[in-house]
Structures are given as structure tokens and as C-alpha cells.
Chain A
Amino acid sequence: MRGGSRLLAGVLVGTWAAVYLVTQVLVVPPLGVLPTLAAGLVVSTVVVLGYPSALRGPRGPRRPRDPRGVRDGLTIAAAGRSMPLRNGLTPDAARRTAELIRPLLGGDAIAITDTEQVLAFVGPGSDHHHVGGTLQTRVSRLALDKKRTVVMHARDGIGCPEPGCPLRTAVVAPLAVADRVVGTLKVYRVHDEPAPRVLVDDMASMLSLHLELAEMDRESHLASDAKLDALRAQINPHFLFNILNTIASKSRTDPEESRQLLLRLSDFFRYAVRQDGHFAEFSQEYFFVRTYVSLEQARFGDRLRVRYDLDPQVLTSRVPVLVIQPIVENAVKHGIADSVTGGTVQLRARVDPLTRTTSIRVSDDGVGMAPEVLERLLAGERPGAGSTQHSGVGLWNISQRLDSLFGDRYSFDVASTPGKGTTVDLRIPLR
């Protein structure tokens, strides 16, 4: 359950408690059951409908849950679910992992290394097995080189250069991502019986799996970032040339308007390049859209009309960045620009408090698109050589980004009728 839903559930429980107190406990005689239920339902409905109506202020980033909270009653399954290495092989994650798995493996000391240095060491011997130091023991090098688990039954086999080292036996298992060894898991004991090899092997396999998942996560994030960068870099040069020409032509006849247009153009590019994350408040995206539209209106004049129809609740909801403007741009480019009489682009945004979704619709009454053009746009194919039409990479990119952000929890529908216009419907979870 997400934070917002948890808060809403808490408010609802508090509401019913208040209704119960006022109608049953504090009053003589108590209210009947049916009127009490009716009162509770009315108040609950008001709360559910009114909850997203309040404009919420900026919210700070959510702090990740502390995986150390599962110390009591620790099981391997619980350790697996909360494994810090899920975020990658870092010193902090390695230390937390070593603390977490130490009681499970029956070792006196646990160390996690990468291929060069000790990332974490917990237990006896930590006075000279320093975190951040290079790998001192021969047994680590052996496991890294052979890419398999190594068991040492004697102190000499470990190869620690410190004469007073209390560690007597060691089981060292390599940590691998795909076929590449990226580190080791070392379980030491201060007596002659080494830790069970199978247990250490299994734990190393589990940690390797988490590292692979972390690697996949990292690649997925890189892909998402690349898609966003591509969209950011995709601002059509034709748009820039046209706007600059418009500004140049107006600079003689209407210098003040050309100055306003330059400022808007500056705002437009600043917003496009300054977006770091994947989400922004709807009002910011709305600012970006109206900046874009006002620039296009300077070029198209009365041929381009626009109508915004926004719920107040939607202004503070968080939407994926650079999603609405490309849709509006497509409406202008493919719907209005080719129409002799021009047309109207309508942006409609609503919040559904019951299904907790944000719906955004961009429609135009322009020339519409033939089915094959629509299909090409959604597929992201570029137009033929020499064409001045902008490619549909925008819509395809948006669809891919929504996929990576929401999985199957969104809908993105495009409907177009030649001669009547195009409608793009987007429904995403309310954030």
C-alpha cells in the first residue's frame, strides 16, 4: 500500500472512530444503527472525494525502508527479501549484508570484497582486516582466480600476514554477475571446523542473484534516462527555425511581442534541459505546454486555437516529464498545421479520486490521420528521406517510457479519423 493510500485509510479509520464516539458514546440516547452507518458513509464519501481535492504541497523524496528492521526472527527468506545488495555492491550495502547474514551462516567473521578491496568485515580480526584495504589473504585471490568456492581448514591456508590473526578456517565463495566474478563472500571461524560449504555456496548464489538484479535495475534506469534524454534532444529543429523566423519578422513590426517570444523560447528550452527526474508536477508540465503553444500561436496566428480544461486537483498530481508537450506538438503538427482553416487543440486533465488515476486527453479537430500514418507514428518509424514531417519518435518514445515507469498500470490510446481530428487519451496512476 502506497503512502497516500495509507494516509487515506488512516483518515477513514479516524473518521469512523469520531462518528462512533459522537453518535454512540458521548450522547444520550445513542443514535440508531442505520442512521449511524448513514452518517459514517456520508462522512467517508466526503473524505474520499475531498482527499485529492486539497492541493498538496511539495513532498520530499521517500526514504528507502531500512532493511535492518528484520533482525528479530530472521529467516533466509526474510534476509533475501531485504538484501541490501539489491542496490549494488557498495561498501555500505556490503556492511549491512554482512551484519544481516552473519547469524545465518554460523561464521565468527564475515567479509565481503570486490575484486580489489575489502568492502565489509564484521567480526574478530576487523582490527587488521580494514575496510577499504586491499585483499590481504591468499585464499581470496585463489577463489577469484579459480572462480569457485575454496575451503581452508588451517590458519596457514588463509594466508593472513598478521601473526596474531584469530581466524583459523575460511570458506570463500565467489560472487558473480553472469560469467563475471565481481567479488567474494568470506566466512571465517576462530576454531578448526569451517562453516558449512553448501550453506556459504547457497548464500553466495543468492547474493549473486541480487547483484544481477541490481545490474538489471541499473541498466533499466540507464535505458529510461536515455529515452528521456532522447526526447529532450528531439526538440524539432524545424520548430526552432520557424520560431526564430517568426521572431525576426516581428522584431520590426512589434518589438515588444518579439521580446516576449524570446523570453518564452528561453523558458521553453530551460524547462526542457533542466528536468532531472522522471516525474514533475502537472502544473510544471502545463507551463511547458502553454509556453510551447504560445510560441506556435505566434507563428500560426488565429489558425491555432487552444482550450485548456483542467481540474484543480490535477495541478498537483505528478506526471511523467515531457509527455504532454510532445502529444500537443503532434496535434499541432499533424492536425492543425495541414488544415487551411486551422483548428482547436484541447487539453483536458482530470483526477478520478475513486480509481486514483489521472487522465489526460489531447484532442484536435484538424485534418486527422490516415490509419497507416497513425500506425507509423506509434511504431516510431521515421518518414522517408526528404520529408519535412517530424517523425513519430515522440509518441513511440512516450509509450516506451510509460511502459518502463508504470508497467501495465497505464493506458495510452490514440484515435484518429481523417478529416475530423485526433484524440490521444492517457490514463496513469495518481501520484
Chain B
Amino acid sequence: MDDDVDAGHTPAEVDATFRTLRRVAVGYFVVFLLAVAAFPVLTLTLDWWSQARLAGGMSPGFLVAAFGLYVFFAVLGIAVARLSSAVEHRMLDGTPEGSPGEALDEPGERP
């Protein structure tokens, strides 16, 4: 017989986890969207973004397009993956300490 009590999650628990994970996904998607949309907006509205020279004669816009966005995507992806795993772990894991059905530690309380 399978000893894993986690198989017995109630629909309400799974539903709650799903909705929290959906909130995480939507939140991070909005961040992604804002960051990507900010690039053309800055190009169109701020001359400094294209004409200034930062490092190696490259403009801030070029540096962001060449390196910054990739770093941002990587950081965002790692963050959302870690957060989602942590949320799932905390919302669906069995006991916060010990294994299901484990007896108390005090002498005389073991079956």
C-alpha cells in the first residue's frame, strides 16, 4: 500500500495552489511585458537612449538589446521557476516537519 498521504489532497487545496501559481505567472508576465515594451518606448521618446555613449562607444539602448535583456530574461525565468516551486512545496507538502503518521519523539508515546 502506498504510504504517501500527499496523494489525498482535497480539490480545494489543489485549486488554491493553482490559483496562487496563476497569480505568480500573471505577475511575472506583466513584469516581462513591461520590460519588453519599455525598450521601443524609450527608443521613441528619449534621444539619450540611442545617442549617448556608455561603454565601448555603445549606446544604452544597444547595450540593453545586446546583453541586458538576455540577463533580465534569465533572471526572470529563474525567479519565477524558484518561486513557483517554493509555492507548490509550501502549499501542497504534507507535514511541515516529520513524515505523515510519524510518532512523537517522547519516550512512552511510541505505539
A contact residues vs B (CB 8 Å cutoff): 22, 26-29, 31-32, 35, 53-55, 260, 262-264, 266-267, 270-271, 273-274, 281, 283-284, 286-287, 290, 293-294, 297, 305-312, 315-316
Q: Which chain B residues lie closer than 8 Å to A293 at the CB level?
A: 10, 12
Nearest CB of chain A from residue B13's CB, rounded to whole Å: 5
For B12, list chain A residues within 8 Å (CB).
290, 293, 305-308
Partner of A29, one of B5, B27, B52: B52
- Whole-angstrom distance from the CB of A338 to the nearest CB of chain B? 21
Chain B residues near A290 (CB, 8 Å)? Answer: 10, 12-13
| CB < 8 Å neighbour of B95 from A27, A54, A262, A271 | A271
Decide: A311 and B101 in contact? CB cutoff 8 A: no
User: What is the bound-complex CA distance between A262 and B53, given in angstroms?
Assistant: 69
How close is B93's CB to chain A, nearest CB, in angstroms? 7
Contact between A274 and B24 (Cβ–Cβ < 8 Å)? no
Q: Are A266 and B101 in contact (CB under 8 A)?
A: yes
CB pair A264 B5 closer than 8 Å: yes
Q: What is the bound-complex CA distance between A264 and B96, given in angstroms?
A: 13
B5 — which chain A residues lie within 8 A by C-beta? 260, 263-264, 267
B102 to A312, Cβ gap below 8 A? Answer: no
Nearest 8 Cβ contacts at the A-B interface: A308-B16, A283-B90, A284-B96, A55-B86, A260-B8, A306-B12, A263-B5, A315-B90
Chain A residues in 8 Å Cβ range of B8: 260, 264, 294
Contact A308 B13 (CB under 8 A): yes
Whether B91 pairs with A267 at a CB distance below 8 angstroms is: no
Contact A35 B46, beta carbon cutoff 8 Å: yes
CA distance A287 to B100 in the complex (A): 12
Of the A-B pairs whose beta carbons lie under 8 Å apart in the complex, a sample of 30, sorted by A's number, is A22-B60, A26-B54, A26-B55, A27-B52, A27-B60, A28-B53, A31-B52, A32-B48, A262-B101, A264-B8, A266-B101, A270-B95, A270-B102, A271-B95, A271-B96, A273-B104, A274-B97, A281-B90, A290-B10, A294-B10, A306-B10, A306-B12, A307-B16, A308-B16, A310-B20, A310-B91, A311-B20, A312-B83, A315-B90, A316-B90
Shortest CB distance B99–A (Å): 10
Residues in chain A near residue B55, CB distance under 8 A? 26
**Contacting residue for A267 out of B13, B53, B94, CB 8 A:** B94
Interface size range of chain B in the complex? 35 or more
Roughly how many angstroms separate A27 CA and B55 CA in the complex, as a whole number?
Answer: 8
Q: Which of B16, B52, B96 is within 8 Å of A309, CB to CB?
A: B16
Report yes or no: B91 in contact with A283, Cβ–Cβ below 8 A: yes
Q: Is the CB of A55 within 8 A of B83?
A: yes
Q: Which of A31, A267, A293 counts the most B-chain CB atoms under 10 A from its CB?
A: A267
Contact B79 A312 (CB under 8 A): no
Chain A residues whose CB sits within 8 angstroms of the CB of B95 once the complex forms: 267, 270-271, 287
B-side contacts of A263, CB under 8 Å: 5, 100-101
Enumerate chain B residues within 8 angstroms of A35, measured Cβ to Cβ. Answer: 46, 48
Report Cα–Cα, A27/B94, bound state, in Å. 54
Q: In the docked arrangement, what's the CA distance between A312 and B25, Å?
A: 11
Within the complex, what minimum Cβ distance (angstroms) separates B8 from chain A? 4
B54 contacts A312, C-beta separation under 8 Å: no
List CB contacts (< 8 Å) of B65-110 with chain A.
79, 82-83, 86-87, 90-91, 93-98, 100-102, 104
Closest partner residue, chain A, to B53 (CB atom): A28
A283 / chain B contacts, CB cutoff of 8 Å: 90-91, 96
In the complex, chain B residues whose CB is within 8 Å of the CB of A54: 79, 83
Cβ contact of A312, chosen from B13, B87, B94, cutoff 8 A: B87
For A22, A260, A287, the residue with the greatest tally of chain B CB atoms inside 10 Å of its CB is A287
Q: How far is the CB of B66 from chain A (nearest CB, A)?
A: 15
**A309→B79 CA distance, assembly (Å):** 22
Measured between beta carbons, the chain B residues less than 8 angstroms from A309 are 16, 19
- Write out the residue numbers on chain B whose beta carbons fall within 8 Å of the beta carbon of A286: 90-91
User: Knowing that A281-B90, A310-B20 are A-B contacts, what are 14 other residue pairs whose CB atoms are under 8 Å apart, sorted by A's residue number?
Assistant: A27-B54, A31-B48, A35-B46, A266-B100, A267-B5, A267-B95, A271-B95, A273-B104, A286-B91, A307-B16, A309-B16, A315-B90, A315-B91, A316-B90
> Which residues of B have CB within 8 Å of A307?
12, 15-16
Which partner residue on chain A sits nearest B21 by CB separation?
A: A312
Smallest Cβ-Cβ distance to B84: which chain A residue: A312
Which residues on A sit within 8 Å (CB–CB) of B94?
Answer: 267
Instruction: Tell me the chain B residues, 5-62 only, with Cβ under 8 Å from chain A.
Output: 5, 8, 10, 12-13, 15-16, 19-20, 23-24, 27, 46, 48, 52-55, 60
Question: How distant is the Cα of A281 from the Cα of B83 in the complex, in angstroms?
Answer: 16
In the complex, residue of chain A having the shortest beta-carbon distance to the beta carbon of B89: A283
With both chains docked as a complex, state the minimum distance between the C-beta of B75 and any C-beta of chain A, in angstroms.
Answer: 11
A55-B86, A260-B5 are known contacts. Are A287 and B93 too (CB-CB below 8 A)? yes
